[in-house]
């Protein structure tokens, strides 16, 4: 993967993988038509259109992100999909949401709340603060993958590298792991907590978008692990995972792989 790509471009290129699970996730979450919600950490806006489709023309989605550059890209997507009347963008942090109490019917946060920072309990409390009584809090994040069929040992070692374990860091409190979200929800006073994992699978022949998305995801997932693998494992990584290799694993005629996203949702009392 060329290193000239910006992180926003990497998000865009890899998005077809996430799109495969989002519709299923939103069917499970069941945001009601005509409701108003917050996409907390909306990034470049990849979920805004499908959230708008879910709540319909009478609904509204507010996209919040801390990056002004990401919001500029999101604005372009809003104009592209002609959903200007359904979407409002605002710059801000999920640690201190710039909204009044009881503003939204629901909040949605994918690969953001509870995933990267060291204070997930505060983030959940902030999300709950801005949701009306009886409303829903939803957080979702990537959770696992099997992308190198036939090479489980190499994939396990890649997953144990510094890049591979992100956003979880050495010495991090286990209570901050994303799968501990039910405890965060309980401390925030939420109820009806439910977790579920969703799978996206890929099988050869891969169409061009999925091929490019997986190629991008390899780079995002493992980066350049030289120095963290044995010499033989690093050679095998380069042979299987770099697109200019004649043995690039995505070219296998029997390639099959999957990754999962895990969701936690709860209800604000009242």
The verdict on residue 221 lying in a domain is yes
Residue 182 sits at φ, ψ, to 5 deg, of -55, -35
CATH number of residue 233's parent domain: 3.40.50.150
E strand or H helix at 218: helix 208-222
Q: How far is CA 89 from CA 46, 92, 124, 179, in A?
A: 13, 10, 21, 29
The verdict on residue 2 lying in a domain is no
The verdict on residue 220 lying in a domain is yes
For residue 190, count CB atoms less than 10 angstroms from its CB and return exposed for 0-12, middle for 13-18, buried for 19 or more: buried
pLDDT confidence of residue 2 = 45
Distance CA 111, CA 266 (A): 17
> Which pLDDT band holds residue 166 (cuts at 50, 70, 90)?
confident
Beta strand pairing call for 104-110 and 131-146: parallel
The verdict on residue 166 lying in a domain is yes
Percent of the chain with pLDDT over 90: 89
Range of the domain at 130: 7-267
> Which pLDDT band holds residue 207 (cuts at 50, 70, 90)?
very high
The mean of the pLDDT values for the chain is 94
> Which pLDDT band holds residue 1 (cuts at 50, 70, 90)?
very low
Q: Scanning the structure block, which residue is given the tokens 């519709």?
A: 23
Q: How many CB atoms lie within 10 A of CB 181?
A: 25
The verdict on residue 84 lying in a domain is yes
Distance CA 64, CA 43 (A): 8
**Does residue 168 surpass a pLDDT of 90?**
no
Q: How many CB atoms lie within 10 A of CB 267?
A: 19
Q: How far is CA 152 from CA 1, 2, 148, 164, in A?
A: 22, 26, 7, 14
The verdict on residue 69 lying in a domain is yes
**Does residue 198 surpass a pLDDT of 50?**
yes
pLDDT confidence of residue 3 = 52
The verdict on residue 116 lying in a domain is yes
> Which pLDDT band holds residue 167 (cuts at 50, 70, 90)?
confident
pLDDT confidence of residue 193 = 97
Q: What is the pTM of this model?
A: 0.94
Domain count, the chain: 1
Query: Which of 104, 116, 111 has its CA nearest to residue 37?
Result: 104
pLDDT confidence of residue 4 = 64
Cα dihedral across residues 229, 235, 237, 241: positive or negative: positive
The verdict on residue 1 lying in a domain is no
């Amino acid at each position: 993967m060329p290193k000239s790509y910006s992180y926003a471009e990497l998000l865009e290129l890899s998005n077809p993988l996430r799109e495969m699970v989002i519709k299923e996730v939103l069917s499970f979450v069941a945001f009601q038509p005509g409701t108003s919600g917050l996409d907390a950490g909306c990034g470049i806006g990849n979920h805004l259109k499908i959230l708008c489709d879910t709540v319909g023309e009478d609904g509204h989605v507010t996209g919040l992100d801390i990056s002004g550059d990401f919001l500029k890209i999101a604005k372009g997507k809003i104009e592209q999909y002609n959903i200007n009347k359904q979407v409002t963008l605002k710059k801000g942090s999920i640690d201190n949401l710039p909204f009044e109490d009881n503003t939204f019917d629901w909040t949605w946060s994918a690969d953001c709340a509870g995933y990267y920072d060291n204070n997930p309990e505060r983030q959940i409390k902030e999300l709950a603060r801005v949701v009306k009584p009886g409303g829903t809090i939803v957080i979702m994040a990537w959770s696992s993958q099997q992308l190198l069929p036939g090479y489980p040992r190499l994939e396990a070692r890649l997953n144990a590298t510094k890049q591979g374990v992100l956003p979880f860091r050495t010495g991090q409190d286990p209570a901050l792991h994303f799968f501990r979200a039910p405890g965060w929800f309980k401390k925030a006073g939420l109820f009806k907590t439910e977790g579920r994992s969703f799978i996206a699978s890929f099988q050869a022949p891969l169409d061009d978008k999925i091929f490019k998305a997986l190629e991008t995801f390899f780079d995002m997932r493992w980066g350049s692990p030289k120095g963290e693998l044995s010499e033989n494992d690093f050679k095998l990584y380069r042979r299987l995972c770099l697109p200019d290799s004649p043995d690039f694993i995505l070219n296998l005629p029997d390639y099959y792989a999957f990754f999962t996203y895990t969701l936690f949702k709860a209800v604000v009392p009242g």
